[in-house]
Amino acid sequence: MSRTGRSWRAALTALMVALAIVWLLPAVWVLVTSLKLTENIVRVPPEWIPWPATIEHYGEVLFSSSRTARIGRAFFNSIVVSLGSVALVVLASAMAAYPLARMRFRGRNLVFGLIVGSLMIPNAVILVPQYVLVQRLGWLSTYQGLIVPEAAMTFAFGVFLLRQFFLTIPSELEDAARIDGADPWQIFTRIVLPLSQPVLGALAIFAFRSAWNDFLWPLIAVNKPDMFPLPVALALLRGAYAAESYGPIMAGAVLSALPLLIVFLVANRRIVEGVRVSALKG
């Protein structure tokens, strides 16, 4: 690279880093507030360095007297529900998207249209009929009562995304396999799925985030405090009547964001490669 090229690059990097730091400032406030003593939290002029620092808010969120908040247990519940719903939705979406992309059959366009159309209805309206259904199945306050509806919520998006990707896989690969005598299931599992790992990873991340942060459905579908996932448990830190204690709330927010951040960093590469191929080829 030429010298001007290098200085361009350095200048651009510096600009981007500065922008990123400003971008992160609100998030920094979340972190900093979680480490401040309560009496130092609401101050004018705003203080960006928590000194003296304290971890009492984290202690309060994780260990304090509040038995109904049981954050550790809620964390575990969220992991189970999020992973469960990711597994279910990735599997179901992939299996549904493949014929929609690759096979001709009666009702194909209708099914695809229905699935995409379902994205256009707000969730709030599904809640109550879904609640009655889940209750009839005896699934209230159970893991399946959370996993299955969460998966259903992301299913349509998953099918949309995966169908796009499957359309981009060169059909020569599948044709060759068919000539060799492979049946559709074998083609799906041995050719299509391995090639789709990137976009499956992308879907997994989005499905995980959606299940992890959902509040409204678990609120009404869970009646045993033991089974509450993290967002519901953390809501207990909210003050009644809007008198918020920012320390514990922000500590809870940091703890809740960490798994998502870790998942993102680990799968970063996968997402980038995955969604690219799908969206690009249209």
204 binds other proteins (CB under 8 A): no
Q: How far is CA 8 from CA 4, 15, 129, in A?
A: 6, 11, 58
The site that binds other proteins (CB under 8 A) totals a number of residues, namely: 121
Per CB under 8 A, contacts with other proteins among 258-277 are 260-261, 264-265, 268, 271-277
Query: What does the per-residue mask of binding to other proteins show for 172-201, with x meaning CB under 8 A?
Result: -----x--xxxxx-x-x-------------
Per CB under 8 A, contacts with other proteins among 16-75 are 16-17, 19-21, 23-24, 26-27, 29-30, 38-39, 41-46, 64-68
Contact 207, 190 (CB under 8 A): no
* Burial tier of 105 (Cβ tally within 10 Å: 0-12, 13-18, 19+): exposed
Q: How far apart are CA 254 and CA 52, in angstroms?
A: 19
How big is the chain, counted in residues? Answer: 282
Per CB under 8 A, contacts with other proteins among 106-165 are 108, 111, 114-115, 117-122, 124-133, 135, 140, 148-149, 151-152, 155-156, 159, 164
- Please report the DSSP string for 225-269 in residue order: GGG--HHHHHHTTSPGGG---HHHHHHHHHHHHHHHHHHHHHHHH
Closer CB to other proteins, 77 or 130, in the complex: 130
Closest approach, Cβ 175 to other proteins, in A, equals 14
Closest approach, Cβ 51 to other proteins, in A, equals 17
- Which residue from 7, 105, 189, 229 is in contact with other proteins, where contact means CB under 8 A? 105
